[in-house]
Amino acid sequence: MRLTTVELRRLLWRRIPALAVLAALVISLVALIGVHGQARQIAQAKAGADASLQAAIEDWEENGETYLQECIQEQEEERRLSGDAGIDFGCDDIRPPTAEEWYGELPPVGEQYTQLLGIAVYPLLLLALAVGSTGVAAEFSHRTMGSFLTFVPRRVPVFTSKVVAAALISIPVVGVCLVALVLGVPAVYRLTGNDPSILADGILPSFWMSLRILGLGLAAGALGAGAAFLLRHSGLVIGLLVGYLMVVEGVLGNLLPGIARFSIGRNVGAVVQDGTEWVTYVDCEDANGCREVVHQLSLEHGVVTLSVIVALVLALGLIRFVRSDVD
């Protein structure tokens, strides 16, 4: 406990946690700016103050009947040529444009949270990993790790304290973004004059989602520290991670859908969203077109897979730290 406290103080005196918190705040602000832009546009459209929608309405009033008749004529021509009376071009759906059709409906606050958190989690985890790896790798680069071991020669407690501290330091990094979104989204909705009834809808799922993201942040911080013990250079840790995500999960994951079940990205998504699913297409050479295959991952699968990855990296980092020389 004493070593962990010392490690936390040492990390807090470095600039990288403060920069990571600032970056997390920027992420949340960018997300809120996007929500504000969408909300303001929808509010203006409903108030009849959106030039683009008004132009579309005027065009419909002038040419709407012509568009409808053209659609019906093309539909009848296609039915005549094909002999299929069931062909439907959807002409009955052609109606005057509305604000909801033009810009969509603003989702309830809870749904908005889950959408934003589902996107923000990936840069947040990268920040947590960077803080954890930099805190450990800097000691190897500055050759201070050896002096630390002079005072505390047992390397396992030293390793444990640094990994736990790196995990804990992720809490403010992830937490500042979560708090900013929790406070910011209702504020944006109120400022843009949206219906108050959507402010309290669906809050509970996003609360559990936030807790799972905090847990992932702890794991990312620990993973970064463990990888730094293994590779001893933060740039190498982040570079290998980015390369792995691009090559293995980006390229090979598309070519070999079977490995996607064990990819970091898919399993992070499964944990964040309490299970996830995605679609691939097979048998595309068939005359009837591609066959759709739906893949699913549960929350439990995501937790187990990510835990194995973190445990493996920590074990390798500990083995190298215990057995190799430290300057």
- Contact between residue 303 and residue 216 where contact means Cβ atoms under 8 Å apart: no
Contacts of 182 (CB under 8 A, 6+ apart): 113, 210
State pLDDT tens for residues 273-320: 889 888 887 777 766 677 788 888 899 999 999 999 999 999 999 999
The predicted model scores a pTM of 0.80
- Contact between residue 135 and residue 13 where contact means Cβ atoms under 8 Å apart: no
> Which of 16-20, 95-99, 316-320 ranks highest by mean pLDDT?
316-320
Q: Is residue 8 part of a domain?
A: yes
State pLDDT tens for residues 153-183: 678 888 999 999 999 999 999 999 989 988 8
Q: Which of 116, 96, 95, 98 is nearest to 107 (CA)?
A: 116
pLDDT tier, 152 (very low <50, low <70, confident <90, very high otherwise):
low
- Contact between residue 178 and residue 124 where contact means Cβ atoms under 8 Å apart: no
Q: Which of 171, 170, 176 is nearest to 32 (CA)?
A: 176
Pick from 5-9, 203-207, 273-277: least confident: 203-207
Quickly list DSSP for 85-125. TT----GGG-----HHHHH-PPPPHHHHHHHHHHHHHHHHH
Contacts of 180 (CB under 8 A, 6+ apart): 25, 28, 29, 32
> Which of 111-120, 203-212, 280-289 ranks highest by mean pLDDT?
111-120
Q: Residue 73 has what pLDDT?
A: 84
Quickly list DSSP for 227-254. HHHHH--HHHHHHHHHHHIIIIIIIIHH
For a pLDDT cut of 90, what percent of the chain falls above it?
A: 27
Number of domains in the chain: 1
Q: Is residue 211 part of a domain?
A: yes
78 vs 319, higher pLDDT:
319
In the three-class reduction of DSSP (H, G, I as helix; E, B as strand; rest coil), residue 13 is classed as: coil
Q: Is residue 110 part of a domain?
A: yes
- Contact between residue 175 and residue 221 where contact means Cβ atoms under 8 Å apart: no
Q: Is residue 247 part of a domain?
A: no
Q: Is residue 64 part of a domain?
A: no
Domain around 185? 1-47+101-236
pLDDT tier, 233 (very low <50, low <70, confident <90, very high otherwise):
confident
Q: Which amino acid is at 184?
A: G
- Contact between residue 125 and residue 264 where contact means Cβ atoms under 8 Å apart: no
